[in-house]
Amino acid sequence: MAVRTILHYPDKRLREQTQPVTEFNEELGRLLEDMAETMYAAPGVGLAAPQIGVAKRIFLVDIATGENQPSDLRVFINPEIVESTGEVCNEEGCLSFPGVHEEVWRAERIKVRAQDAKGASFELEADGFLAVAIQHENDHLNGKLMVDHLSMLRRRLVHRSMMKRAASEATV
């Protein structure tokens, strides 16, 4: 297992379309282990494969927070949101946007169809924080980012802030 580098906006790889997973093998298992280790080390509650430069339709979510809560790691491979209802606004952050937290509107309840690490299909109905996390990570698989949900003004401000961050990281 290894902690991988998380790509930060404006890295163009965050906008790439992802490809379906077709082989459920040891290589996929190692990728999932690396993704989990990377997500927990960050620390974050979700991580999509494109955020570590892998253009595959995979994301992980673990919304258990706090030291006294057991892990609730969920693996979503080739996910598809098949139903969504309601609307809710929450403050969101993203590992690819360090230090940025913005109000984002999303569906309140969803149904997602996906495959697990062994390739078995499943459906999950989710609401609350889990539904928000799933939608956020699923967006990454389609090259859509948190800032795409913001007003033009907020998007420009976040873009400017992230460009300054990228420039300062490049000079270090």
Q: Check pLDDT > 90 for residue 36.
A: yes
User: What phi, psi does 102 have (nearest 5°)?
Assistant: -135, 155
What gap in Å lies between CA 110 and CA 72, rounded to an integer? 18
Whether 113 contacts 24, CB under 8 Å: no
Note if 33 is an active site residue.
no
Whether 111 contacts 82, CB under 8 Å: yes
Domains of the chain, CATH where assigned: 12-170 (3.90.45.10)
Tens digits of residue pLDDT in 61-76: 999 876 667 789 999 9
Tens digits of residue pLDDT in 78-96: 999 999 999 999 999 999 9
pLDDT category of residue 13 using cuts at 50, 70 and 90: very high
Q: 27, 67, 137, 169: which one is catalytic?
A: 137
Indicate the pTM of the whole model.
0.94
